[in-house]
């Protein structure tokens, strides 16, 4: 009597072994841990703000580095857009020509920053991490163009000045966080 079992087992081995190897290689991406978040945020201008911002999104706890890049870009987009809208609303309220010129310049800078954050998101979806880095770096430059406080002697409501300075600082820091994460994805960190 001929044994069928060994030949059957050998054929099964040739079918299932490659399948098992393939499936083990396609494991879901590992979520980042608190140590990775701490490392990323230690490179930012304000590490506690960085941690607070990233942890404000519930997906941070279960996402991988690519997902964290998306979260950081989304956070930057939200703040940059809010600052753009705020500055744009202030242009019509100021009467001092010097301040009006400064706020108008900030509107242009934040319009560019918005475009750069959108481009960073496009590059992330395309897997072009260098492009994400270039776009988030450009966003930092755009936001930096609006850092100057109002000129001395210009009569402006203190509340609007403080709000602009705070929003500008947060916009800068969120774009910086996105840049740090994109650099890590590119292997630069």
Q: What is the pLDDT of residues 82-105, one digit of tens each?
A: 999 999 998 888 888 888 888 899
Cα separation, 59 vs 132, in Å, equals 20
Cα separation, 24 vs 7, in Å, equals 26
Cα separation, 103 vs 154, in Å, equals 13
Q: Give residue 47's pLDDT.
A: 96
Q: Give residue 100's pLDDT.
A: 85
First to last CA, the chain: 65
Its pTM stands at 0.79
Sign of the torsion formed by the C-alpha atoms of 116, 53, 39 and 69: negative
- Walk along the chain (189 residues) and give the pLDDT tens digit of each residue: 445 444 545 444 444 444 343 333 333 357 788 899 999 999 999 999 999 999 999 999 999 999 999 999 999 999 999 999 999 998 888 888 888 888 899 999 999 999 999 999 999 999 999 999 999 999 999 999 887 655 544 555 544 656 788 899 999 999 999 999 999 999 876
> What does the DSSP assignment read for 97-123?
HHHHHHHHHHHHHHHHHHHHHHHHHHH
């Amino acid at each position: 009597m001929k044994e069928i079992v060994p030949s059957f087992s050998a054929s099964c081995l040739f079918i299932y072994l490659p399948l098992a190897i393939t499936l083990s290689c396609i494991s879901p991406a590992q979520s980042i841990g608190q140590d990775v978040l701490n490392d990323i945020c230690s490179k930012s201008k304000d590490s506690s703000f960085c941690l607070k911002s990233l942890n404000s999104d519930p997906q941070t706890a279960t996402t991988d580095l690519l997902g964290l890049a998306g979260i950081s870009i989304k956070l930057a987009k939200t703040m940059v857009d809010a600052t753009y809208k705020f500055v744009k609303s202030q242009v019509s309220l100021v009467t001092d020509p010097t301040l009006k010129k400064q706020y108008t310049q900030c509107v242009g800078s934040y319009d560019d920053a918005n475009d750069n954050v959108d481009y960073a998101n496009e590059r992330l979806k395309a897997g072009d991490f260098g492009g994400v880095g270039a776009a988030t770096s450009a966003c930092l430059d755009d936001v930096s163009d609006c850092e100057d406080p109002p000129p001395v002697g210009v009569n402006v409501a203190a509340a609007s000045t403080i709000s602009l300075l705070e929003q500008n600082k947060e916009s800068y820091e969120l774009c910086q966080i996105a840049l740090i994460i994109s650099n890590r994805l590119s292997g630069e960190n």
